[in-house]
Amino acid sequence: MRVLLTGGAGYIGSHTALALLNAGYDVVVLDNLSNSSPEAFRRVEALTGKKAPLIIGDCTDGDTVRAVFENHGPIDAVIHFAGLKAVGESVEKPLDYYQNNLDATMALCRVMPEYGCRALVFSSSATVYGVTQEMPLREDFPTGCTNPYGWTKWISERILTDVAKADPSRSFVLLRYFNPIGAHESGRIGEDPAGIPNNLMPYICQVASGKLDHLRVFGNDYPTRDGTGERDYIHVMDLAEGHLAALDYALKNSGVEVFNLGTGTPYSVLDIVRAFEEANGLTIPYEITPRRPGDIAVCYADASRARDVLHWQAKRDLKQMCRDAWNWQKHNPRGYGDK
């Protein structure tokens, strides 16, 4: 069974590639390296003892995608991670986001049937639920977004749904990720953000390493237990394993299905700080600052559908997320720049 991973050199893609190779799948990666390093993939090969072709190319280009199917086939399924993902940047450069993220989805939709490939698993996001008040979030809740990045996920979901409606032999699984954090337990692969991190866990890791001075906690006046924002953090290896379950489902079914991939448990910013300190025996200095524009108070999944239908649920706890995040940061203070 051979699977094409678009964006497979990135954070979630590299962890999923590792899980797939360990489970006996053949893997082909197409990545333009716009936000990743080939070193991530070399390490995946070293950790698994298996080889997988990394094709450096753009997934928005139909001919490039076609050449991958032609030269590295037969490809049985696609997991489509490739995309730009920085919310703030998407507000400044909306056209770059719409073009990259939507053209990539459409190029795959066009080329796959030329090679008899029906099954695709798509990286969507909890961001498509917008500012819904009711928690936990269920897959059938109304959707809507607050920024161009979110809309690219929302529109991609729409495109895939319409394409599957027009051709019922297709099988698309849309995965709405909550907040992936942590790293593979080896500490050899992990999240390698460019510049100053936007997201909480990579920021905490850089404070722990001394690279950044202190954490800014964005608001302590939310209607939550301790006033700070609550999220559903999920270990990236649990998320990776969720893709194996989704892939299996996509190969055995047809039509479109949507699943949340989260733990179903919300933690506040201060919960994360304390858990990180306890798990790693470190102190994280922080100050409370005003809210970050665009943030919501609480966001967590109803994870029961993935459990009942995909027979998958997250296994790793917050302590392990914190330990593995720091283990990666500690051993790779400059990310993949430090080989």
| Catalytic positions | 149
Nearest C-alpha neighbor of 103 from the set 124, 80, 121: 80
Residue 168 CB, nearest distance to ligand NAD (Å)? 26
Residue 40 CB, nearest distance to ligand UD1 (Å)? 17
Of ligand NAD, ligand UD1, none, which one sits near residue 11, judging by CB under 5 to 8 A according to partner kind? Answer: ligand NAD
Closest residue by beta carbon to ligand UD1 = 229
Q: Where are the beta strands (DSSP E) in the chain?
A: 2-6, 26-31, 54-56, 77-80, 119-125, 171-177, 179-181, 215-218, 230-231, 233-235, 255-261, 267-268, 286-289, 298-299
Q: Is 82 in the site for ligand NAD (CB under 6 A)?
A: yes
Out of 13, 148, 190, 202, the residue judged to bind ligand NAD by CB under 6 A: 13
Residue 203 CB, nearest distance to ligand UD1 (Å)? 4
Percentages helix, strand, coil for the chain (3-state, rounded to 5) are 45, 20, 40
Angle at CA of residue 241, ends 156 and 254, nearest 5° = 50
Residue 263: what are its φ and ψ, rounded to 5°?
-95, -25
Query: Please, which residues have CB within 8 angstroms of residue 38's CB and are 6 or more apart in sequence?
Result: 9, 54, 56
Q: Which is nearer to ligand NAD, 110 or 225 (CB)?
A: 110
Q: Which region among 4-12, 131-139, 163-171, 257-265 touches ligand NAD (by CB under 6 A)? A: 4-12
Nearest C-alpha neighbor of 21 from the set 327, 43, 11: 43
Amino acid at 311: H
Nearest C-alpha neighbor of 170 from the set 226, 99, 126, 111: 111
Residue 172 CB, nearest distance to ligand NAD (Å)? 15
Out of 125, 228, 263, 313, the residue judged to bind ligand NAD by CB under 6 A: 125
State how far the Cα of 217 lies from the Cα of 58, in Å rounded to an integer. Answer: 37
Residue 305 CB, nearest distance to ligand NAD (Å)? 17
Q: Which region among 20-28, 33-41, 202-210, 226-234 touches ligand NAD (by CB under 6 A)? A: 33-41
User: What character string, x for contact with ligand NAD (CB under 6 A) and - otherwise, covers 259-298?
Assistant: ----------------------------------------
Of ligand UD1, ligand NAD, none, which one sits near residue 217, judging by CB under 5 to 8 A according to partner kind? Answer: ligand UD1
State how far the Cα of 99 lies from the Cα of 156, in Å rounded to an integer. Answer: 11
Residues in contact with ligand NAD by the rule CB under 6 A: 6-7, 9-13, 30-36, 58-60, 81-85, 100, 104, 123, 125, 177, 180
